[in-house]
Structure 1
Amino acid sequence: MPRALVVLLCTAGAVVTLAGIREVGSIVGPVLLALVLVLAVSPVRTWLRGRGAPGWTLVAAPLVLVLLILLGMMAILILAVAQLAGLAPTYQKQFGELVVQAQQFAAGLGIGTDQMNQAIKSFDPGKIFALAQGFVSGLLGAFSGLILIVVLVLAMCLDARAFSGVLKAGAARRPLLIEALRNFARKTRRYLLVSTVFGLICAVLDVGALWFLGVPLPLLWGVLALITNYIPNVGFVLGLVPPALLALLEGGIKTMIFVIAAYMVINFVVQSLIQPKFLGDAVGLSTTVTLLSLILWAFLLGPLGALLAIPLSLLVRALLVDSDPDGDWAAALISGEVPGRDRPASDEKAAGDEGPGRETRPAPVR
């Protein structure tokens, strides 16, 4: 078949598949969340098996841990929604003062009052609070299917041992697919662990900075920073906008600048300088692919898709790219790394053995 026709057919198939995922997103989202949670707590099951624990603990311990995570997230999100709902109306007076100051500043620059009033009318800080509240409410709605998620996690924990045996049995027939799935599980666990640890560090530092600057509800904004840490590229901005706006209403422009500066310094030092050294190439996605995957999964699954964008993209890569014998070029395109850059140690040794100090014999002619 012509290559152009193959591309068009694959594109049409992808569009149909993605449209189907969007239509059943209320089911696909909890299933994928349960899968990621089971992968996250699988080291607990491995550790218990190595200690010779009874079989029922291999299911009960991961399930209880997942329940604690889900219930804790739901409690935090419910508290966040309640506090955000009553926060915006309390700052109407401060907003009016900011409007007067903005009009005076614009008049000093020679900008007409009518244009300034029109611009001010189009800006409402309550909309930003509503946006943050809508995002948190969307996450809460995703977690609200707690019974379905728990049932799925229980089923996956019960099948984990059998599934591991199936993977071992299929390694001889489908080695690339099995290895790709193992790499997906390993990279997902590493990504979640590193992101959680450094997200907690950033959240604690953010809470300390907000408390020092006198911004209300510092614990709430620290939790929001931890949650948005799992959202690539734009998560930092989503976690910064509400406390920065609140600092503007509470302490003025100077306090807002201090909040933005503190967040930027903390984010740059922890997530840009330190975190990549621990995360390494666990993600294997270029910046462009990461941003596109965020947009795609958020469009398909809503806030839950944005939260799970990296693990879901790793799963798609494992199934469609890493399991393909001819997928090296696609993997290099996705990861942004030149193929063949890292040579095996055996090849390097062989190349080193053929240095100037050694005589190489030509192969005999037959």
Structure 2
Amino acid sequence: MPQERLTAWTVLRHAWAVRGLFLLALVFALREARSLLVPVVIALLLAIVLTPAIRWLHRRGIAQPLGAAILVGALLAVGGTVVALLAEPAAQWWDRAPRTIGAVLSRIDRWRGELPGLVPWVSGRPGASLEAADSVKAKLASEGVALTGSLLTQGVGFTLSAASTVILLYFLLASEHWLLSRCIEALPARRRLRALVLGGLRAFQRDLSRYVLTLTLINLGVGFATALVMSLLALPNPGLWGVAAALLNFVPYIGPWATAGALTLAGAMAESSGLALLHPALGFLAIHAVESNLVSPWLIGSRLAINPLSVFLSVLFWGWLWGLAGALIAVPLLISLRCICRRNRKLRIVALYLSASSRPCASLRSLLGPGRSAPKVPG
């Protein structure tokens, strides 16, 4: 009997070791294949979100290929209009960046000189900011070839990925009914199983569409409020910062702080003095506090709410795996995982950890049962 137990334990240990190695290999395979998988995953998620609109158009006599062309064309038109409107303000900020960075460095040197115990102030003489700006320009000029090559390479890669995503999105939307029918037919011929899978797909599509639509409306409000506050603070190009705040707010936790950091730099670039350079960032953080604590919980509700810890870990993991694109799709992927776990008995415990329940947690004493108490720790 002990020998049999030892053999069973050895087999179980080897099985877990094989599973762990397979999981590690899968993670690094996903990381290496990100240029191929990112357009596919983004197009699939967008197709799931836009499918209700395709069905709405189909019920009104518009064929799916034509409806898909209308939706994709509308998305391209909106994106192209936004890029065209923001190209000139972004170019102006980019041209002013070297001189402004030099001024910021000079101001930091002045602050360091005013604090006791730090390096003495050596850059406070007249023309120091110009010298710092010239040094930044010289640095950019010396590394200009490498920087230009890197930007061109990344620009070409982004263009190819965007084009692949748009083309794949059109085909997924145009053949949505055909793909869904083939996926259901591929399952074993059991009515209950097919009904369960179809119901799960519909529920996932409904939850994801509702979440993305609600989040888009919230971020549009955040962008409008940010542009209004930046206009009241007389920050140049408030529309640019409103669009940046709306787009970065799709990335939980990381996006708002990146926006606040960019607005801090923008306040310094606007030649503000003292604490005035922090006013744009503080104004945005006030907007974000209202949005995250009042607006989002009220609009999203408990049905779509996800555990904040799981959201943060998902953003970290997918951001490390696929960069900014992974951080953008981290929450939709988490919603899909929760929908799968809710419909699998063995994985329902995972769904409990992913969901943010509004019910109060039971006390540890009640979980131990009647007449029991937690063991006392000696000392």
TM-score, normalising length from structure 1? 0.76
The aligned counterpart of 1:185 is 205
Task: Decide which of 231, 242, 245 is 1:211's aligned counterpart.
Answer: 231
Task: Decide which of 155, 176, 183 is 1:160's aligned counterpart.
Answer: 176
Distance 1:231 1:77 in 2: 21
Task: Decide which of 241, 258, 273 is 2:261's aligned counterpart.
Answer: 241
- CA 1:73–1:267 in structure 2 vs 1: closer, same or farther (change >3 Å)? same
Task: Decide which of 242, 252, 256 is 1:222's aligned counterpart.
Answer: 242
Distance 1:80 1:298 in 2: 28
Q: Structure 1 residue 12: deviation in Å?
A: 2.6
Segments of 5+ residues of structure 1 without an aligned counterpart are 118-123, 127-133, 342-366
Aligned residues of 1:74 and 1:143 also touching (Cα < 8 A)? no
Residue 69 of structure 2 corresponds to residue 49 of structure 1: no
Amino acid paired to 2:329: L
Aligned residues of 2:65 and 2:174 also touching (Cα < 8 A)? no
The aligned counterpart of 2:272 is 251
The aligned counterpart of 1:94 is 103
The aligned counterpart of 2:25 is 16
Q: Structure 1 residue 174: deviation in Å?
A: 4.4
- CA 1:96–1:82 in structure 2 vs 1: closer, same or farther (change >3 Å)? same
**SS class of match (1:251):** coil
Q: Structure 1 residue 304: deviation in Å?
A: 0.8
- CA 1:40–1:61 in structure 2 vs 1: closer, same or farther (change >3 Å)? same
Amino acid paired to 1:216: P
Amino acid paired to 2:351: A
Amino acid paired to 1:163: L
Q: Structure 1 residue 199: deviation in Å?
A: 0.6
Amino acid paired to 1:257: L
Amino acid paired to 1:113: V
Deviations 1:236-279, CA, capped at 9 Å, x for gaps: 10111111122134212322332232112211112320121111
Task: Decide which of 254, 263, 274 is 2:284's aligned counterpart.
Answer: 263
Residue 146 of structure 2 corresponds to residue 146 of structure 1: no
- CA 1:201–1:4 in structure 2 vs 1: closer, same or farther (change >3 Å)? farther
What percent of counterpart residues are identical?
A: 21
Q: Structure 1 residue 17: deviation in Å?
A: 1.4
Residue 118 of structure 2 corresponds to residue 112 of structure 1: yes
Amino acid paired to 1:335: S
Residue 219 of structure 2 corresponds to residue 202 of structure 1: no
Distance 2:98 2:15 in 1: 56
Q: How many residues align?
A: 322
- CA 1:289–1:93 in structure 2 vs 1: closer, same or farther (change >3 Å)? closer
Aligned residues of 1:284 and 1:335 also touching (Cα < 8 A)? yes
Q: Structure 1 residue 41: deviation in Å?
A: 2.0
Q: Structure 1 residue 227: deviation in Å?
A: 0.9
- CA 1:326–1:103 in structure 2 vs 1: closer, same or farther (change >3 Å)? closer
Distance 1:86 1:298 in 2: 30
Deviations 1:290-332, CA, capped at 9 Å, x for gaps: 111111111111111111111122233444x234222221111
Distance 1:312 1:262 in 2: 31
- CA 1:229–1:81 in structure 2 vs 1: closer, same or farther (change >3 Å)? same
Distance 1:143 1:15 in 2: 30
Residue 336 of structure 2 corresponds to residue 315 of structure 1: yes
Distance 1:297 1:76 in 2: 31
**Where in structure 2 are the equivalents of 1:289-328 lying within 5 Å?**
289-319=310-340, 321-328=341-348
**SS class of match (2:24):** helix
Aligned residues of 1:229 and 1:235 also touching (Cα < 8 A)? yes
Distance 1:27 1:177 in 2: 27
Distance 1:73 1:291 in 2: 29
**Where in structure 2 are the equivalents of 1:326-345 lying within 5 Å?**
326-337=346-357
Q: Structure 1 residue 72: deviation in Å?
A: 4.9
Question: Which 10-residue stretch deviates more, 296-305 or 51-60?
Answer: 51-60
Question: Which 10-residue stretch deviates more, 23-32 or 207-216?
Answer: 207-216
Q: Structure 1 residue 51: deviation in Å?
A: 1.8
- CA 1:18–1:308 in structure 2 vs 1: closer, same or farther (change >3 Å)? same
Amino acid paired to 1:256: L
- CA 1:138–1:99 in structure 2 vs 1: closer, same or farther (change >3 Å)? same
**SS class of match (2:252):** coil
Q: Structure 1 residue 93: deviation in Å?
A: 5.2
Deviations 1:185-207, CA, capped at 9 Å, x for gaps: 22221121111111111111111
